[in-house]
Amino acid sequence: MNIIITGASKGLGKSIAEIFAADKQGHSFFICARNSNELENTAKELQGRFPRTSMHAIACDVADRQSVNGFVKQVLQITDRIDVLVNNAGIFYPGSVHNEAEGTLEKMIEVNLYGAYHLTRLLLPYMMKVKSGHIFNICSIASLAAYENGGAYSISKFALYGFSKNLREEMKPYNIKVTHVLPGAAYTDSWSGSNIDTARIMEAADVAKMIYAAAHLSPQACVEEIIIRPQLGDL
Ligand SMILES: NC(=O)c1ccc[n+]([C@@H]2O[C@H](COP(=O)([O-])OP(=O)(O)OC[C@H]3O[C@@H](n4cnc5c(N)ncnc54)[C@H](OP(=O)(O)O)[C@@H]3O)[C@@H](O)[C@H]2O)c1
């Protein structure tokens, strides 16, 4: 399979890459993040651990249209067959609507919504032509309800969920599956320094396992939504 994962240098994105990379048959991965050193290191690590894979690390800022265009151009130089697209890249600045810094909403919408929207739109024609593929949009439980310090992040994730739901309806006749992934807290770099008890929240691999399972159903089945929370509930 040809698998594109945004924001895959660490965290959930890397975990999702790892679980697919462990497949015996080997896949081609196109992974992106802004920090090219970290991205290269991740690609080298995964390539070493899973020699059957082919890792293409392409630095890209999903909030930047030119950068997204360049990313897609590089993918298309290698293949125009996209089997799995995971729109995972995202940022989280805690805050509240009434007091978060000016521009917080814009920044978060640019990465968390526009990134997925524009990348997907560039790739859809190739997927629609062959009537196949599976798109996972990494939303959040912050897409479902307001919560303390959610602010602009929660707004951007509600919007991403709206995008994903519309896409699901549109893509039915094209045989393209769309899955909205709504995780609660899962331990990644975004939690480092927070003093969180790692046993209280999920592992990144928990989310990756659900995505992997959803990608392996019969062609006629589509998991529309994955809601996954820590056993003790949200923090
Ligand atoms: N962890 C959780 O508890 C949790 C819960 C619900 C939803 N989520 C969602 O899951 C996704 C991944 O979160 P995470 O916790 O794994 O975060 P993370 O550990 O901070 O990793 C984020 C990844 O995205 C990349 N990235 C950030 N901004 C980017 C941009 N503009 N363009 C391209 N890549 C970018 C980062 O690399 P660079 O910084 O080098 O670009 C990194 O590879 C996010 O959408 C997040 O909202 C996470």
User: Using CA of residue 67, residue 70, residue 75, residue 76, what is the dihedral sign?
Assistant: positive
Ligand 1 centre from 1 Cα, in Å? Answer: 23
Q: What pLDDT digit, counting tens, does each position of 4-31 carry?
A: 999 999 999 999 999 999 999 999 999 9
Closest to 16 in 3D by CA, of 228, 222, 210, 218: 210
- pLDDT score recorded for residue 44: 98
- pLDDT score recorded for residue 12: 98
Ligand 1 centre from 92 Cα, in Å? Answer: 8
Q: What pLDDT digit, counting tens, does each position of 145-174 carry?
A: 998 999 999 999 999 999 999 999 999 999
Ligand 1 centre from 205 Cα, in Å? Answer: 14
State the closest ligand 1 atom to the C-alpha of 204, by its place in the atom list counted from 1.
1
> Does residue 193 carry a pLDDT above 90?
no
Top-tier CATH class for 2-228: alpha beta
Closest to 67 in 3D by CA, of 120, 10, 12, 115: 115
How far is the C-alpha of 88 from the C-alpha of 193, rounded, in Å? 22
Mutate to test the pocket of ligand 1, among 5, 46, 72, 88 (most ligand atoms within 8 A of CB): 88
User: Using CA of residue 153, residue 106, residue 91, residue 78, what is the dihedral sign?
Assistant: positive
Q: Which residue has the tokens 């991740």?
A: 42
Q: Is 173 helix (H, G, I), strand (E, B) or coil?
A: helix
As for ligand 1, residues whose beta carbon falls within 6 Å of it are 6-13, 32-35, 38, 60-63, 88-92, 111, 138, 140, 183, 185-186, 188-190
> Does residue 128 carry a pLDDT above 90?
yes
Ligand 1 centre from 90 Cα, in Å? Answer: 4
Q: What angle do CA 74, 216, 129 make, to 5 degrees?
A: 45
> Does residue 192 carry a pLDDT above 90?
no
Alpha carbon nearest to ligand 1 atom 32, residue: 61
How much is the pTM?
0.98
Sketch the domain layout of the chain as residue ranges. Answer: 2-228
How far is the C-alpha of 32 from the C-alpha of 11, rounded, in Å? 13
Q: Is 234 helix (H, G, I), strand (E, B) or coil?
A: coil
How far is the C-alpha of 57 from the C-alpha of 29, rounded, in Å? 8
Q: What are the residues facing 28 on neighbouring strands?
A: 2, 54
Mean pLDDT of 51-64: 98
